[in-house]
Chain A
Amino acid sequence: MQQPNRLVTSNLRWTRSGVVWADYVLTGIPYGYRPIEDRQTARAMHKMLLRALPGESLLLSVAVSLDPMTIVERMERGVDLDLHPAWADECDATIDRLEEIRPGQRIYWLSIPLANHGFGDTIKSATSAAWSSVADLMGMPPSSIPVEERERRAAQAAQIAAAIPAFYDATPATPSQMVWLHQHALQRGLGLDTDMPTAMEHPAGTARGSFTAARLDEGAQSDRPESGWRAKAPTLSRVLKVDQPWEVTPPPASYQCFLVLAATPSGGTLFPGSEYLTLADNLGGVDVDWAIRFKNSAASEVLKKNRRALVQMNDQYTQREDELSTGSVLDDAAVALAEYNALLEADAMEMEVQSTTIFCVAAADEETAIAYQRELAKEFEGSTYRLQAPIGFQEELFWAMTPGVPTPAICNEFAQITTSEHFAAYVPVTRNDLGDGDGPLIALNISSARTGVVHHDIAKKASRDVSGSVGVCGNLGSGKSGYLKTTGNQVVDRGGQVIVVDRTPLGEYALWAEAITDAVVVDTAAPDVTMDPLRLFSPARGGEVAVSILLPLLQLQPDDRLGVLLSQVLEPEYRARFGNFTTPGLVSHLESECTLDGARELAGKLKVYATKSYAAALFRADLQPFNPRAGAIVFRTHTLELPSEREVENEHLFKQMSLQKRVGRMMYTLIAQIARGICFADPNTLAVFLLDECHHLTRSSEGVEIIIDFIRDGRKHDAAVMLGSHDPEADFGSETLRGLIPTRLVFRQTDRRLAQKSLKWLGVGENDLDLLKELMENTSPVEGKDGFVAPHRRGEGYMRDPAGNVGRIKVLLPASEARYQAASTTPKESTTERAAELATW
Chain B
Amino acid sequence: MTEQQASSRSVVKMFTKARNFPQLIGKAPDGRKIPGGPYTLTQFVGAGIAGGLLWLTQSLWAQGSVITNGAIFLGITGGTLWVLGRLPQGARNPISVVRGVGRAATGAMSPSKINGEPIRIKRPHAVLGSVIILDTPPIHGGAIGEPTAARAPRERAENAAAPVELGNNAVPDAPAFRPLTQPRPERKTVPAPARPRADDERQRTQSPALAEAFDLANLAPASSVQQLLAMAAAAPTPTREKA
Q: Show the binding face of A for B, using Cβ within 8 Å.
A: 1-3, 36, 40, 213-219, 221-222, 224, 232-237, 246, 248, 264-274, 305-306, 309, 312-313, 316, 318-323, 329-330, 332-333, 336-337, 339-340, 390-393, 409-410, 413-419, 422, 425-426, 765, 767-769
Contacts and interface: CB of A to CB of B under 8 A. Distances in A.
A146 to B, nearest CB: 26
A316 B23 CA distance: 7
B238 to A, nearest CB: 30
B195 interface: no
B107 interface: yes
A390 B101 CA distance: 9
B12 interface: yes
How many interface residues does chain B have, given as a range? 35 or more
A302 to B, nearest CB: 9
Contacts of B106: 234
B235 to A, nearest CB: 20
25 contacts: A40-B8, A213-B115, A215-B114, A216-B112, A218-B103, A222-B112, A234-B104, A236-B104, A237-B104, A264-B13, A267-B11, A268-B11, A268-B14, A270-B11, A306-B19, A309-B19, A322-B33, A390-B100, A391-B101, A392-B100, A392-B104, A415-B16, A416-B16, A767-B2, A767-B5
A377 to B, nearest CB: 16
A310 to B, nearest CB: 9
A233 B108 CA distance: 7
Given A391-B101, A393-B100, A267 B13 contact: yes
Nearest to A236: B104
Interface stretch (B48-56, B89-97, B167-175): B89-97
Contacts of B59: none
A219 B104 contact: yes
A215 B113 contact: yes
A265 B26 CA distance: 30
A218 B107 contact: yes
Nearest to A302: B19
Interface in B12-29: 12-19, 21-27
Given A234-B108, A235-B108, A417 B116 contact: no
Which of A222, A246, A416 counts the most chain B CB atoms within 10 A? A416
Contact of A274 (B12, B18, B203): B12
Nearest to B104: A392
Which of A236, A319, A340 counts the most chain B CB atoms within 10 A? A319
B5 A36 contact: yes
B10 interface: yes
Contacts of A265: 13
Contacts of B191: none
Contact of A1 (B25, B99, B116, B203): B116
Contact of B18 (A3, A340, A392): A340
B112 A215 contact: yes
A767 B96 CA distance: 51
A232 B115 contact: no
A336 B20 CA distance: 11
B243 interface: no
A413 B92 contact: yes
A337 B103 contact: no
Nearest to B121: A222
B15 A322 contact: no
B9 interface: yes
A289 to B, nearest CB: 22
Contacts of A769: 1-2
A57 B18 CA distance: 23
B102 interface: yes
Which of B18, B89, B119 counts the most chain A CB atoms within 10 A? B18
B114 A213 contact: yes
B70 interface: no
A662 B11 CA distance: 62
Nearest to A354: B16
Contacts of A319: 24-27, 38
Contacts of B116: 1-2
Contact of A413 (B9, B96, B107): B96
